[in-house]
Amino acid sequence: MRCLKIAGRVVRQVVKDRRTLALLFLAPMIVIFLLDVVLTSKVGKPRVMAVGLPADLQTAVGQEAEVTVSSDLSYAMEQLKKQETDAVLMYSKPNVTVSVEGTQGSVTASVKKAVAAAVGRYSKDTASKEAEEQMQSQKEKILRQLQDQLRALQKPGKAESSTSPALSAPETKLSLSMTGVQYSYLFGSDDMTAFDSIAPLMMGFFIFFFVFLIAGVAFLRERISGTLERLLATPVRRFDIVFGYFLGFGVFVFLQTLLIEFYMVGVLHIALKGSFLLLMAVNLLLAAGSLSLGTLLSAFARNELQLFQFIPLVIVPQILFCGLFSLRGAPEWTVILSKIFPLTYAADALQNVALRGFGLESVWQDLLILFGYMLLFLVLNTLVLKKYRKI
């Protein structure tokens, strides 16, 4: 088996090349760690300045944000401009006007959330207070009527004439005011961070990206150094070369995938509802596809720089369209394009397994498609080598 000889050589080469080893195993760890730090850090309570808020409302806001009270609106706005405060809350009956700086989405979102929560709490308190008052007044009313009737009963003779109006229940209108919204989660949970929801995609993406780069560069180096041509001067079959490379790098890609998954699940504790092994299967198939794609595309690059030029063309669109961003409102062609990309199927399967806990029965199609892509790229690469040798 000549492909095994080639695979063995590739393994030996990678082991001796410290930089490639480091890039394979350390680089994804570092990037994922940094991403985790950035995405799981919360904005915290927003800082707001209250200008003339009713006391109750101000108390409610105080529970959701750090409130500074000011009586000077223009001073408050000045502070907002300097980003010393995140928002200015001003009450002008019957509305609360919230001013925000507005360039930082996460800050704006946290202000909005805090204000919504405070207003919700405020109206709930007010409503329940009203309801309580209403209840109290009704109780008193009924009590009074009962006392009247009692008094009437104590006067004999007069009793029959009384048509006991008090016993007909008093018409009370208990207005049902909505006091809050409760969310129920089909999947996921309230405390899921931004990192949690994109973590499976990130895992897939990093595996895809790093494998693509390293496999592409390595095969390209074989081409540039002339060893590929030298190898083709031996009685080795083209497919043996392609498959040998695939197997040799496959060893490291397997380890890398294992490491990334263990790291994300075991160390960073990303949400994993489904099976660890199934997630591994998706990742490995994705990595295999990326490995074969990298070696294939290296055929169309004359040097490393040209290979890197494929990143905006081949890698970036896949990230944009794989499901990281919703394509619901995007034009139709983006959806069609996303269907061509292997990463889309991997992303779908990864999310279904990691976040929704689905099993093989719901992701087998994705797995099959990924396997198909891998085969396709391997065969294409073998055909591309015809450029050097017809047989």
| Shortest CB 8 distance to other proteins, Å | 8
- The Cα–Cα gap between 214 and 25 comes to 11
| Shortest CB 5 distance to other proteins, Å | 5
DSSP letter (8 states) at residue 321: I
| Shortest CB 240 distance to other proteins, Å | 9
With respect to other proteins, which residue has the nearer C-beta, 8 or 357? Answer: 8
- The Cα–Cα gap between 300 and 315 comes to 15
Instruction: Determine contact, residues 17/248, Cβ cutoff 8 Å.
Output: no
Instruction: Determine contact, residues 246/254, Cβ cutoff 8 Å.
Output: no
With respect to other proteins, which residue has the nearer C-beta, 16 or 173? Answer: 16
With respect to other proteins, which residue has the nearer C-beta, 276 or 388? Answer: 388
Instruction: Determine contact, residues 247/378, Cβ cutoff 8 Å.
Output: no
The region that residue 226 occupies, defined by phi over 0 for left and psi between -120 and 50 for alpha, beta otherwise, is: left
Neighbour count for residue 92 (Cβ, 10 Å)? 9
Instruction: Determine contact, residues 49/83, Cβ cutoff 8 Å.
Output: no
With respect to other proteins, which residue has the nearer C-beta, 173 or 387? Answer: 387
- The Cα–Cα gap between 200 and 65 comes to 32
Can you name the residues that pair with 97 across neighbouring β-strands? Answer: 90
With respect to other proteins, which residue has the nearer C-beta, 6 or 347? Answer: 6
Q: Which chain residues interact with other proteins by CB under 8 A?
A: 2, 5-6, 9, 12-13, 16-17, 225-227, 229-237, 387-391
| Shortest CB 259 distance to other proteins, Å | 22
Instruction: Determine contact, residues 317/330, Cβ cutoff 8 Å.
Output: no
| Shortest CB 303 distance to other proteins, Å | 16
Helix and strand counts by DSSP (H, E) for the chain: 15, 4
| Shortest CB 248 distance to other proteins, Å | 12
With respect to other proteins, which residue has the nearer C-beta, 242 or 270? Answer: 242
| Shortest CB 231 distance to other proteins, Å | 7
Helix (H) or strand (E) holding 100: strand 95-100
With respect to other proteins, which residue has the nearer C-beta, 300 or 371? Answer: 300
